[in-house]
Amino acid sequence: MSESAQTPMKSAVRDAMGEQIQREFYAAYLYLSMAGSFEVANLSGFARWMRAQAREEQEHAMKFFDFLLDRGEQVRLRSIEEPPYAFRSPLDTFEQALEHEREVTSHIHELYDLAVREHDYPAQVLLNWFVTEQVEEEKSATEIVERLRMAGEDSAALLILDREMGER
């Protein structure tokens, strides 16, 4: 392929973004696995919510993928690890989802720090969107975890929650 006319990216930023693509796809994989487990448990509202979440994670990965291509970089895709597939309960599932989002947030912040250190301004603009998005992701996962804790062992409350989640 021909040489790009773009100003080359710092390899540290490019590599860290490549790793972030992998994390976003892993998140998609994890949420798809969770969707399957809810489907099997006849909680179709939760399953639908998780499927939508999985699609969003793929979009996140594609934002980084397209950004690297726009900067004239070759994208090296990493392999994606197998996610867990058996979950103890809806609460356990959402606690794991929240935990995962918190990890993603800290990686986004590290990536932002790196972009600042390397004076990569376009990367900072892209990452601004992700910083805001992570606030939303953690907020919605936290809300669901708290509502599942309130529902406790009450299956009627769980079914109501399942119906609401399906309206996403």
Q: What share of the chain is helix, strand, coil (3-state, %, to 5)?
A: 75, 0, 25
Alpha-carbon span 149 to 143, nearest angstrom: 10
Query: Per the structure block, which two tokens stand in for 53?
Result: 């979440």
49 or 162: CB nearest Mg ion: 49
Min dist. Cβ of residue 134 to Mg ion (A)? 8
Q: Measured on CA atoms in the order 108, 129, 93, 36, is the torsion positive or negative?
A: negative
Min dist. Cβ of residue 162 to Mg ion (A)? 24
Min dist. Cβ of residue 23 to Mg ion (A)? 8
Alpha-carbon span 122 to 128, nearest angstrom: 10
Please give the residue ranges that form the binding site for Mg ion (CB under 5 A): 24, 57, 60
44 or 58: CB nearest Mg ion: 58
Pair 9, 24: CB distance under 8 Å: no
Alpha-carbon span 139 to 144, nearest angstrom: 9
Pair 97, 39: CB distance under 8 Å: no
51 or 60: CB nearest Mg ion: 60
Min dist. Cβ of residue 159 to Mg ion (A)? 29
136 or 154: CB nearest Mg ion: 136
